[in-house]
Amino acid sequence: MAILHLENGTSYSNLEDISRELSALNVNLNKWPVGDNPEIRGLLSEAALDDHQKEQVLESLDGYFQQLQETAGYQSRDLIVLHPDIPNLDSLLAKFEQCHTHADDEVRYIIDGEGVFGFVGVDGGQMELVIEAEEYINVPAGTEHWFHLTDTKRIKAVRYFSNMSGWTPEYTNTKIRISPANSAVVFG
C-alpha cells in the first residue's frame, strides 16, 4: 500500500488522496495486480533472477506493456532486480538519490519489494511516496524528483521506455528537506 508523506508532516495512504496530492505534478499512480501464477510468484520471492527468469516474469506481465505501447507509444521494457547482495548497490543508487529530472517519463511497475519516490511540488514543497508491489507509477518528463530504496534494499520493478536516451538524470541541485520519519498523521 502506497503512503505519501508531505513536508508538513501529513501522510496519506488512500489511493484517491495520494492521486489528488500528486495531480498537480501529473504523476500517475495505480494498482496493477501481478496475478496468481504460482511459477511467477515463486520467481518474485527469489532475491536474484537470471536473464531467462526475468524474461519469464516480463512475458507474464506483457498485457500491461501492450496497453502502454498502444496508448502511450512505449517501445521497450526491462526488469530491474535490486537486493542487498548486489556489489556496489549503494553507489549504483546514489545517482538517483539526488534531485533530478528526465527528458522522458520515468515509468515503473513495482512487482516485489518497495522504494521511495520523492517530489518537488509546483509550490516548492516536498513529498515522498513509498510504493510497494503491484503499484505502477508514471513520473512525467521534467518532473523534479529523486528515488531511493527503503531499508529492505530490495525491489523488482518493470521499467517501461519510449526512448532510452531520455532516461539519463539531469541534476537540479535542489536540496532534499523531507524525511518520512517526521510524518506521523495518516489520513485515508
Query: For residue 47, what is the domain's CATH number?
Result: 2.60.120.10
pLDDT of residue 182: 41
In a domain, 126, yes or no: yes
Helices and strands (H, E) in the chain, number of each type: 5, 12
Please state the residue numbers annotated as binding site. Answer: 100, 102, 106, 145
In a domain, 179, yes or no: no
pLDDT of residue 48: 95
In a domain, 152, yes or no: yes
Please state the residue numbers annotated as binding site for Ni(2+). Answer: 100, 102, 106, 145
In a domain, 164, yes or no: yes
Query: Each residue's pLDDT tens digit in the chain (188 positions)?
Result: 899 999 999 999 999 999 999 999 999 999 999 999 999 999 999 999 999 999 999 999 999 999 999 999 999 999 999 999 999 999 988 889 999 999 999 999 999 999 999 999 999 999 999 999 999 999 999 999 999 999 999 999 999 998 767 678 999 999 999 865 444 344 44
The residue segments making up the domain with residue 168 are 3-174
Q: In the chain, where does DSSP find H-type helix?
A: 15-22, 38-45, 51-60, 62-72, 89-94
pLDDT of residue 7: 94
Q: Could you give the CA distance from residue 133 to residue 137 in angstroms, rounded to a whole number?
A: 11
In a domain, 168, yes or no: yes
pLDDT of residue 180: 53
Q: Structurally, how many domains does the chain consist of? A: 1
pLDDT of residue 167: 74
Q: Could you give the CA distance from residue 104 to residue 168 in angstroms, rounded to a whole number?
A: 9
Please state the residue numbers annotated as binding site for Fe(2+). Answer: 100, 102, 106, 145
Q: Could you give the CA distance from residue 173 to residue 162 in angstroms, rounded to a whole number?
A: 26
In a domain, 54, yes or no: yes
pLDDT of residue 183: 41
Distance of CA 133 to the CA centre of its chain: 10
In a domain, 78, yes or no: yes
pTM over the 0.85 mark: yes
